[in-house]
Amino acid sequence: MGNERIIGSIFCQENSIAINEIIEDIKKAGEVCIIEIRHDTKEGSFEPHPDFYMHGLEVISTCMTIDEGGYFDSTLEQWKELLKLTIDYGTQYIMIGLGQAETEQGKELIQYAKERNVKVIIGVHSQKTPSAIAIITTLLKIREAGADIAKVAYIANKPKDVIEVMKASLYNLGIPKIMIAMGKFGKFWRAVNLIHPWNCWGMFASIKEATAPGQLSVKDIKDILKILK
């Protein structure tokens, strides 16, 4: 079996108490060891709080801009400063888009993270799934941009799209990777990619509200993995 690293993904709420209650519930349930905190919300960006990083769980701090499929619509300088603050507070990972990683602000942020031993996840999201070769080419660009972990997420509009993601997942990139097929056709892949021979680094799952098309809940992924065992 693979590492079965399930990442619980949540949007920030209006206050730190609400999100910390969610983190405590997850910690007690023992369902996940990593939490993704989305700082871009439908109501605007949400400032990080020191309490987010004091629960014994590893945290991935994410702030997706509009052009990366998220909700953050302020300047790149504000985006950079928000994620730098999560690093100062103790996040173990930051996740940014490839487009942002290639900007001056993105490069500064990546350097800031690496100097503080914070892992950088760089991702690409697309509404269409290209060929496996094209996916691998994108993964190589992500690696060259300075990623510690590469992430790609494509909408699977037909079963063949999932197969393209599966084939690309077998490529030895030299760094860990997260390979996602979004939408209804990609649901099962969200669980099976954690096991051999794909052995992806981790998979995002919803705690309450899904944060991506076709995203399964933590319970759903765990149930599928139990069946596969």
How do residues 187-221 score in pLDDT, each as one tens digit? Answer: 888 888 888 778 899 999 887 766 677 788 888 88
Characterize the bridge pairing of strands 58-62 and 34-38.
parallel
Give the distance, in angstroms, between the CA of residue 229 and the centroid of all CA atoms in the same chain.
Answer: 25
Q: How confident is the model at residue 2 (pLDDT cuts 50, 70, 90)?
A: very low
The answer to whether 87 touches 117, Cβ cutoff 8 Å, is no
Q: What is the pLDDT of residues 34-45, one digit of tens each?
A: 999 888 877 767
The answer to whether 186 touches 158, Cβ cutoff 8 Å, is no
Residue 17 has pLDDT above 70, yes or no: no
Model's pTM, two decimal places?
0.90
- DSSP at 67: G
Q: What is the pLDDT of residues 114-123, one digit of tens each?
A: 999 999 999 9
Q: Please, what sign has the CA dihedral across residues 185, 188, 194, 196? A: negative
Residue 139 has pLDDT above 80, yes or no: yes
Structure tokens at 198: 């794909």
Q: How far apart are CA 56 and CA 130, in angstroms?
A: 39
Provide the 3-class DSSP secondary structure of residue 204: strand
The answer to whether 149 touches 123, Cβ cutoff 8 Å, is no
Question: Which H or E element spans position 97?
Answer: strand 93-97
Domains of the chain: 6-228 (3.20.20.70)
